[in-house]
Chain A
Amino acid sequence: MLTIKGSVWKFGDGIDTDIIIPARYLIQPMEDMKWKAMEPIRPEFASLVKEGDVIVGGLNFGCGSSREQAPAVLAALGIRAIVAVSFARIFFRNAVNLGIPVIECRDVYEQANEGDTVEMHPSSGKIRLEEKGMEFTGSRLPDFLLAIIERGGLIPRVAKDGGK
């Protein structure tokens, strides 16, 4: 069972794809592009994120364009999961397709502070805020989406399993 543990990076409501990765960087190679993640609102983010960290966001996280570069730059920087009050539809699907667990949970958004340690289990939706000693249950992904995440994304799943 997949477990994710890392520090929280906290963002607000309506974080759109032009914030996550502005349009003018989309055609750069990923190695260059990833350093521009969240540039319009937090230019220091990309250089400080650590492998295993988790983003906590508000309403409609990832709204806007269909650019898969948005979850892809976050993954390239080491973000291993995203918890938000709600997700925009295409972003949600893209994140799952790249193997990034996306969990909806308002309590975590309200209680977590930047830098808190969070431990989560996508298969059950359980999320623990270590320092605060609080535990919440967020949305649980349907089994067929969990299977994609456990495989590391849709491409490995289709390539190896031949599934749809």
Chain B
Amino acid sequence: MGKTIIEKILNHAGGGNASAGDIVTVGLSYLMTNDAVAELTIQAFEKLGKPPWRKDRIVFILDHYIPATTENAARTHKLMRDFAGKHGLPIFDQQGVCHQLMLEQFVLPGDVVIGTDSHTCTYGGIGAFSTGVGSTDGAVAMATGNIWLKIPETIRIELTGALPDHVHPKDVILKIISDLGADGATYKVLQFTGSGAAGIGNAGRFTMCNMAVEAGAKAGIFEPDKVTEDFVRDRKRKGIFFQSDPDAEYCMNMTVDLDRLSPQISCPWSVDQVVPVDEAAGIRIDQAFIGSCTNGRIEDLRVAAHTLKGKKVHPQVRLLVAPASQSIYRQAAAEGLIEILIDAGAVICNPGCSACFGGQGMLWDGEVCIGTHNRNFRGRMGHKDARVYLASPETVAVSAVAGYIKNPGQ
């Protein structure tokens, strides 16, 4: 019986000849933690009374509450700086969203990475196994360099055809989450494959793997290919390009025909409440947000700028744009995108998580936000009765101009 890419990566990292369902202990390529959970992680780590397993493989990132939004944030940040300084760990202090920085600086195909953040699954976009854990698992991994896990079963999602105009990878993953449900892939991996997958660029792959966890999945993954080669072109090491065997075993098979997909939108208060944008069209909005580890990349900013060029954001709407990292910010400025966005009336926020979880741009009772991020849970962006819709950067940009939710294809 052949192996899936996930089985191969985990076996290579110490699993031996294990298969889905087996519990294995694997060695880590990296451990990442961020300021939302670092305090608990550090406290747990210090109780262990051990040194960090490797200084160059534990990454601290300040991205959620930056620049420090409250005294508590300042306290957490100081704690992280002091801890990283004492142990000589790499620390990224207000340089962008953790997952984007991990991809820009560290993670390679075939790596095994855990992060104390549920969207750590983003790195599957280049064929790494990555998943989110809590602070205690993070602390133990920090001391030991390994983690036990059950090798997950894989749902194979074959993508056929190509994305029509105005339809983006975000729409594809929203449709898949809607079909699977918020717990439809619990403990499993989503493997995106087929000719349609080959046509999706790296940024789109990150968007899709990022949201695998919204169907409950442990990870999302694309098999590395020519598109991935492009991503690692300037890196010294290229990683290992594992592929699923043709006779690998899957727990479920799905097909998504990209040609027939229309723009999708997730409605409050659960990510799997997805409908075609047309069914939510006309809903008045107060705020629009373009950014996050889901859709804050240069490709997303290009789509937004292209849509907003020469237009003005609706006077009753505030548009917030947060590039996912400093290097994306710089590139967007160099391409003239930032100027277009400012001319349209957008507020450019500092790279980081920003409004995604209410670190900035909080909402009041009854307010409505449309954003490119990944979660619309009650209370996440402020008041419990604020409503958040999730869509592609193009849908968010056209809606910001219209003042209400609008299908970009119209």
Q: Please report A residues at the B interface, Cβ cutoff 8 Å.
A: 14, 16-19, 22-24, 26-29, 39-41, 59-60, 63-69, 71-72, 86, 88-90, 93-94, 97-98, 153-156, 158-159, 164
* Interface status of B384 (Cβ within 8 A of chain A): yes
Interchain CB contact (< 8 A) of B146 among A16, A19, A64, A164? A164
13 pairs, A vs B, C-beta closer than 8 Å: A18-B379, A18-B380, A19-B379, A23-B357, A27-B70, A40-B384, A60-B182, A63-B183, A68-B37, A68-B116, A97-B137, A154-B140, A164-B140
Query: Are B40 and A60 in contact (CB-based, < 8 A)?
Result: no
Q: How large, as a class, is the contact surface on chain B?
A: 35 or more
Q: With A and B bound together, what is the CA distance between A159 and B136 in angstroms? A: 12
Given known contacts A89-B218, A90-B133, A23 and B139 CB-to-CB distance under 8 angstroms? no
Q: Which residues of A contact B117 (CB under 8 A)?
A: 65-66
Interchain CB contact (< 8 A) of B134 among A16, A63, A97? A97
* Interface status of B35 (Cβ within 8 A of chain A): yes
Interchain CB contact (< 8 A) of B118 among A26, A29, A41, A64? A64
Query: Are A89 and B48 in contact (CB-based, < 8 A)?
Result: no
* Interface status of B244 (Cβ within 8 A of chain A): no
Q: Which residues of A contact B39 (CB under 8 A)?
A: 27
Q: Which residues of B contact A86 (CB under 8 A)?
A: 183, 186
Q: Please report B residues at the A interface, Cβ cutoff 8 Å.
A: 25, 35-37, 39-40, 44, 47-49, 64-65, 70, 72-73, 75-76, 115-118, 120, 132-137, 139-140, 143-144, 146, 148, 182-183, 186-187, 216, 218, 270, 357-359, 362, 375, 377-380, 384
Query: Are B37 and A40 in contact (CB-based, < 8 A)?
Result: no
Query: Are B25 and A19 in contact (CB-based, < 8 A)?
Result: no
Interchain CB contact (< 8 A) of A93 among B76, B115, B137? B137
CB distance from A35 to the nearest CB of B (A): 14
CB distance from A14 to the nearest CB of B (A): 6
CB distance from A155 to the nearest CB of B (A): 5
Q: Which residues of A contact B182 (CB under 8 A)?
A: 14, 60, 63
Q: Which residues of B contact A24 (CB under 8 A)?
A: 358, 362
Query: Are A89 and B186 in contact (CB-based, < 8 A)?
Result: yes
Q: Which residues of B contact A23 (CB under 8 A)?
A: 36, 64, 357-359, 380
Q: With A and B bound together, what is the CA distance between A148 and B190 in angstroms? A: 30
Q: With A and B bound together, what is the CA distance between A83 and B118 in angstroms? A: 23
Query: Are A90 and B118 in contact (CB-based, < 8 A)?
Result: yes
Besides the known contacts A23-B357, A66-B118, A86-B186, 10 further A-B residue pairs in the complex with CB atoms under 8 A apart: A22-B379, A39-B379, A41-B384, A65-B117, A71-B134, A89-B186, A89-B218, A93-B134, A94-B134, A155-B136
Q: With A and B bound together, what is the CA distance between A18 and B375 in angstroms? A: 10
Q: Which residue of A lies closest to B185 (CB)?
A: A89
Q: Which residues of A contact B359 (CB under 8 A)?
A: 23
Most buried by B among A19, A23, A29, A88: A23
**Sorted from nearest, which 7 A-B pairs have the closest CB atoms?**
A68-B134, A94-B134, A40-B379, A97-B136, A18-B377, A60-B183, A66-B132
Query: Are A60 and B216 in contact (CB-based, < 8 A)?
Result: yes
Q: Which residues of B contact A164 (CB under 8 A)?
A: 25, 140, 144, 146, 148
Query: Are B47 and A159 in contact (CB-based, < 8 A)?
Result: yes
Query: Are B148 and A67 in contact (CB-based, < 8 A)?
Result: no
CB distance from B215 to the nearest CB of A (A): 10
Q: Which residues of A contact B118 (CB under 8 A)?
A: 64-66, 90
